[in-house]
Structure 1
Amino acid sequence: MTIQLKAITSDVQAAPTPAFPALRERQPCFSSTFEGDIQPGRLHLPVSPDCNIDCSFCMRDVNCSNQQLDTAYRVLTTDQALGIVERALQHFPTLSVIGIAGPGDPLATNHALDTFAAVRARWPQLSLCLSTNGLMLPERVDQLAELGVETLTVTVNAIEPTIQAQITPKITWQRHRLDGVAAGERLIANQLDGIARAAALGLTIKVNTMLIPTVNEDHIGDVAAQVAAAGAQLITIVPLIPQHRFAHLPSPGLMKRYVARAEAERHLRVFHDCTQCRADACGVRGLGDYAAALDGDALEAEPSFSHG
């Protein structure tokens, strides 16, 4: 096992850097390499209030201090979001990316797309990035492309419905509730179809996969293989934060994370520098947060992962 993992790591280190030259100076969540001392930053706008799936690891919250998944200080209207962008650009001149990643799923309602349209009309120089669970992606990906969204993150935690049923035991699809394996089958099918459609439209696609001990820890390579075949170009392995229905599970240790990343690297590049941002983060990834400087309706932002 040790020799095999070393060989995988060596192959990845030999790959060309950066992975996405066109995004090198603009998208901190898809590239680890930047010219000089100026690093691009991102602003996440928490405009999406609702979600259409129920994940066992996710506790969406509107709270300024909890270090939880999908947490935001509050949910913004489009007009409030535009005010935040305007103030952020005044305080943070290297801002390059506007992202929407929660606290609900950005494609479950029209709020994210309406906000992107308003941002694009006013600040066409800013890149747009969206994070989604992928359930509605096949239906909405054409709209994303029309709005000029360049980068897309899709959370895919399993490609086997029985495993997905443990992670996401119920979803809402076309105004009907699906449970268990039926929910898993529909979610997986839509995720892979949506990724393929997005790739065909030219979007750069990253997949986030939650590493959940005893649930999908031996399944990461299969996930990476399937999403790579669908058109994803990058994957982030996100260690579980034990909470909600998975509160009894341990967070994966260093070795489990290493093995999972090595398995994923057999199929596509692994992004190692994710700082698990909240749904309202603002600043340079890993180097501090500018949200406190946004006066008035300022967003409070602390590290936490938002999976969309």
Structure 2
Amino acid sequence: MDCPGSTSDTKMQTAAAILEKTQKHPCYSFDAHQKFARMHLPVAPYCNISCNYCNRKFDCVNESRPGVTSEILTPQAAQKKFDRVREKVGELSVVGIAGPGDALADWENTRQTIALIRKENPQIVFCLSTNGLLLPEYAQEIIELGVTHVTVTVNCLDPVIGAKIYKHINFKGQHYEGEAGVKILIENQLAGIEKLTSQGIIVKINIVMLKGINDHHIPEVVKKMKELGVYITNIMPLIPAPGSVFENFPQTTMKDVNEMRNSCELDVMQMRHCKQCRADAIGLLGEDRSQEFRDHEESVTSLSASTEQEKKIKVAVTSKQGKLVNLHFGHATEFLIYEIAGTAISLTETRQVDKYCLGMDECEEEQSRRKALIDTIADCDAVLTMRIGYHAQQRLLEHGIVSVEYCDTVEQGLLFAQQQLM
């Protein structure tokens, strides 16, 4: 029999406190979504996986989808912004970090942001979203930091299916393609989720429903999540993002999504009120007020010194005018060569090349021209480009050159590329 003050009593009190917070979280409770507001803080721009349905484009105020934000904040700027929002949004109950990259791929920024806000606001519900690749590594820190709700995107349990969804992952300094990378991702997702739920953390699973790819597999995913003690699953329709691999993929209908939810709710409670929010969303679900609180003075064009590296890296950039990463690798007739040393970025030269892709069949002349282009940038560590084909990626990798796809300013893209090479 447990005595008052025992470990069992403490666990029950903790569980009751977390349940109370869940009732104030609009993403985890239907009853809360029209009563309580959330605030997403865009402090984590980096991502360590490449999803075929994703294009993380900044400064796109008319888009409302995961991965989109109008600014990137330092932890200190995020704290200031929280204070301003709290004064004007009385129903604010949740602070979350949902990117625009991955909260754990930018763990130091995520950790600092939550710690700064939690110090003065312990009553706020803290949550984060992640792809789960680094979840086993940071799960204990997440718990100790006071985060009570974690959302993990799990699109499959089968690496064969996953290879159709993910292009690559970057894990512990290694670049993995295809099934090999997806296998690591899935293993880490499952291990991390189990670690969180075993210690009382409320876990929500996001699943992007892709017709003909993973739709038949989703019930199996949900059953596995039930085994792991997941609280709720959120089956979402694909939003074809311009510039992504799946930009021309048909959007999943809500009829299909709801039929899948009906089928799966026998195993796990289903979220039916998701708005697929931006990474800087503020306010009630469906009533985004993020632009009302945007402050250019708080946003940053370069990231904090925590990303500083002693190693000097060289990056070849494809750009139409030199300001944005807005040119396909195969269409480039010149590369801007940048060197990055710590937080210092410098343009060293411009190298002229013949186009990699002319739309003709493979031939000896074509092969020779492509080889000449790669030889031109052979001393570079990475290519930073808006888009690049799979075969071109493979040829570059054979020469030790990593392909980094991005769609924003050259400066932000170079900082992103630096992180991928760390």
On whether the aligned pair clears a TM of 0.5, the verdict is yes
1:181 positional shift = 0.6
1:42 aligns with 2:54: no
Distance 1:182 1:33, change over 3 A: same
Q: What is the CA deviation profile of residues 231-260 of structure 1, one whole-angstrom value per residue up to 9, with x for unaligned ones? A: 211000110011311122111123321232
Deviating runs (4+, > 2 A) in structure 1? 289-300
1:2-17 → structure 2 map (5 Å cutoff): none
Structure 2 SS opposite 1:97: strand
Match of 1:237 in 2: 235
Distance 1:298 1:291, change over 3 A: farther
Structure 1 SS opposite 2:259: helix
Distance 1:101 1:295, change over 3 A: closer
Q: What is the CA deviation profile of residues 210-240 of structure 1, one whole-angstrom value per residue up to 9, with x for unaligned ones? A: 0011111111101101122122110001100
CA–CA separation in structure 2 for the residues paired with 1:227 and 1:298: 42
1:132 positional shift = 0.3
AA aligned to 1:267 is D
Question: Is the contact made by 1:84 and 1:298 (CA closer than 8 Å) also made in structure 2?
Answer: no
Match of 2:366 in 1: none
Match of 2:121 in 1: 123
AA aligned to 2:292 is A
Match of 1:143 in 2: 141
Match of 1:198 in 2: 196
Which runs of 5 or more residues in structure 2 are unaligned? 1-17, 300-422
Which is greater in Rg? Answer: 2
CA–CA separation in structure 2 for the residues paired with 1:112 and 1:136: 13
Distance 1:277 1:254, change over 3 A: closer
AA aligned to 1:148 is G
1:62 positional shift = 1.3
AA aligned to 2:204 is K
1:185 aligns with 2:183: yes
Which runs of 5 or more residues in structure 1 are unaligned? 1-19, 301-308
AA aligned to 1:116 is I
Distance 1:253 1:64, change over 3 A: closer
Q: What is the CA deviation profile of residues 95-134 of structure 1, one whole-angstrom value per residue up to 9, with x for unaligned ones? A: 1100000101000122111111111112112110100000
Match of 1:290 in 2: 289
1:264 positional shift = 2.1
Calculate the TM-score normalised by the size of structure 2: 0.63
1:25 positional shift = 4.2
Structure 1 SS opposite 2:216: coil
Match of 2:5 in 1: none
Match of 1:75 in 2: 72
Match of 2:31 in 1: 33
Structure 1 SS opposite 2:262: helix
1:295 positional shift = 6.2
1:94-113 → structure 2 map (5 Å cutoff): 94-109=91-106, 110-113=108-111
Q: Which moved more, 1:245-254 or 1:194-203?
A: 245-254
CA–CA separation in structure 1 for the residues paired with 2:96 and 2:46: 17
Identical pairs, percent = 35
Question: Is the contact made by 1:91 and 1:293 (CA closer than 8 Å) also made in structure 2?
Answer: no
Match of 1:208 in 2: 206
CA–CA separation in structure 1 for the residues paired with 2:60 and 2:89: 21
1:293 positional shift = 3.4
Calculate the TM-score normalised by the size of structure 1: 0.86
Structure 2 SS opposite 1:46: coil
1:240-251 → structure 2 map (5 Å cutoff): 240-243=238-241, 244-251=244-251
Match of 1:3 in 2: none
AA aligned to 1:290 is R
What is the root-mean-square deviation of aligned Cα atoms in Å?
A: 1.9
CA–CA separation in structure 2 for the residues paired with 1:47 and 1:265: 34
Structure 2 SS opposite 1:71: coil
AA aligned to 2:230 is A
Q: What is the CA deviation profile of residues 172-205 of structure 1, one whole-angstrom value per residue up to 9, with x for unaligned ones? A: 1111011111111111111111100000121100
Question: Is the contact made by 2:73 and 2:298 (CA closer than 8 Å) also made in structure 1?
Answer: no
CA–CA separation in structure 2 for the residues paired with 1:237 and 1:62: 25
Match of 1:22 in 2: 20
Q: Which moved more, 1:65-74 or 1:129-138?
A: 65-74
Question: Is the contact made by 2:130 and 2:153 (CA closer than 8 Å) also made in structure 1?
Answer: yes
Distance 1:299 1:156, change over 3 A: farther
Question: Is the contact made by 1:54 and 1:168 (CA closer than 8 Å) also made in structure 2?
Answer: yes
Distance 1:219 1:299, change over 3 A: farther
Match of 1:305 in 2: none
Structure 2 SS opposite 1:72: coil
Structure with the greater relative contact order (CA < 8 A, sep ≥ 6): 1 or 2? 1
CA–CA separation in structure 2 for the residues paired with 1:96 and 1:129: 11
Distance 1:298 1:267, change over 3 A: farther
